[in-house]
Structure 1
Amino acid sequence: MSLPAPDAPELAQAPGAPQGPASLWVLYLAFNRLALQGFGGVLAVAQRELVERLGWLSREEFVETLAIAQVLPGPNVVNLSLMIGDRYFGLRGAFAALAGMFVLPSLLVLSMAALYGSVAQHPVVGNALRGMGAVSAGLILATGLKLLPAVHRNSMGPVLAAVLAVATVVAVVWLRVPLPWLVLMLGGLGMAAAWHGLAQTAERA
């Protein structure tokens, strides 16, 4: 008597690999929690929630998925939610993650926008917003520093990745290169370098 074959997801799940959400409801609640914490920018919270707390993505997977989300049209974290939802539950997962990002947070933001109109001229409100802007910048910087170790395992290698990062900063801050040209030039160069690195790795294997 032959034993029944294990399910495909169990075969694909390697030991120590990131575990995905157990259900659509869990996926919805996770992105709802993420969005509610992310006033002023969700990126820093997304890395902490999806990689560190939930363990749905490894650090390298998060960096790679975020890179694709940055290139696609639209807000990067919205694109990220769609890709992660689709990865685990297909189209239903994409809609569940998107609903978590937008439904309740949108109601809160609209309510706060209406409230802000009545207190916008108060000096305390202006100072509070400036303080929150500094905190948001610090969170994004801290997230970038946390993700730096993932660069060492990138197919391009840390040196070329650092060169592209510096070139991007120079092009944006000092040269004022428009975003479409920046994506085409440095983005295209990065993709070509990654493709070459992957080909070399495959040859060695």
Structure 2
Amino acid sequence: MSTDSAPAAQESDREPDPSTASGLPPSLVALFLAFARMSLAGFGGVLVFARRAIVEQHRWMTADEFNETFALCHFLPGPNIVNLSMVFGARLRGIAGGVAAFAGLLLPPTLIMTVLGIIYARFGDVDVLRRSLAGISCAAVGLLIAVVFRMMTPLLKRMDAVGLILMLAVFAAIGVLRLPLQAVLLVAIPLSVAVTFLLRRKVAV
């Protein structure tokens, strides 16, 4: 039996969020609390926990919808996860929903990091603290790699060869060839939109 079967079964057996099951969008308070929990659990980056909460726990989005929304936020200026909170909240509850998700994402960690910043300014030279931070950075990289593979799952399930080729091409251009990010995006975004439009049009015909 594959190692992915147990997590998959757990995800499929997990009860959907009541607001989703009833067809009603979550309340502003629910959005604020959901993103507050994401931010407080988001050691090494919030994206891992955001996808788990939105797609697997609350089922407010499918995996494909999350990927599409995150792709849009990735190409907008500013931090990706902050963009995601605004776009996602506004999609469910309008501008007020965007503000609630944004506040939930940033307010709790901002307060905590302010306190930790004061502590680090005084004790940052302690050797034990430096070693601890080095270990945390390794865990953060592992979490990021894990969520990348989870986001690739819809492409692999659909055997979307075009999407995988575009993804690998962008990775090679930026990660291997070290081409400027802006130049790669100026080519990759119009190309991916054009290819997707043509393929969907062909299927529709």
Quick one: distance in 2 between partners of 1:129 and 1:79? 27
Q: Name structure 2 gaps, 5 residues minimum.
A: 1-19
Quick one: distance in 2 between partners of 1:91 and 1:174? 40
Q: Give the letter for the 1:100 counterpart.
A: G
Quick one: distance in 1 between partners of 2:102 and 2:198? 35
After TM superposition, give the deviation of residue 47 of structure 1 in Å.
0.9
After TM superposition, give the deviation of residue 153 of structure 1 in Å.
6.6
Aligned partners of 2:32 and 2:101 also within 8 Å: yes
Aligned partners of 2:38 and 2:50 also within 8 Å: yes
Aligned partners of 2:70 and 2:84 also within 8 Å: yes
After TM superposition, give the deviation of residue 65 of structure 1 in Å.
0.4
Quick one: distance in 1 between partners of 2:63 and 2:30? 21
Q: Give the letter for the 2:179 counterpart.
A: V
- What is aligned with 2:67? 63
| Residue among 109, 124, 127 paired with 1:123 | 127
After TM superposition, give the deviation of residue 45 of structure 1 in Å.
1.1
| Residue among 72, 76, 79 paired with 2:76 | 72
- What is aligned with 1:176? 178
Give the % identical residues: 34
- What is aligned with 1:145? 149
Cα pair distance change 1:82/1:153, threshold 3 Å:
farther
Q: What pairs with 1:69-108 in structure 2 (closer than 5 Å)? A: 69-108=73-112
Cα pair distance change 1:95/1:35, threshold 3 Å:
same
Aligned partners of 2:89 and 2:100 also within 8 Å: yes
What is the alpha-carbon root mean square deviation over aligned residues?
2.0
Cα pair distance change 1:100/1:20, threshold 3 Å:
farther
Q: Give the letter for the 1:129 counterpart.
A: L
What count of residue pairs does the alignment treat as equivalent?
Answer: 186
- What is aligned with 1:201? 203
Cα pair distance change 1:38/1:144, threshold 3 Å:
same
Q: Name structure 1 gaps, 5 residues minimum.
A: 1-15
After TM superposition, give the deviation of residue 158 of structure 1 in Å.
2.0
User: 1:25 and 2:33 equivalent?
Assistant: no
User: 1:158 and 2:160 equivalent?
Assistant: yes
Q: Give the letter for the 1:179 counterpart.
A: L
Greater Cα radius of gyration, structure 1 or 2: 1
Large movers: runs of 4+ above 2 Å: 16-22
Deviation larger for 128-137 or 26-35: 128-137
Q: Give the letter for the 2:194 counterpart.
A: A
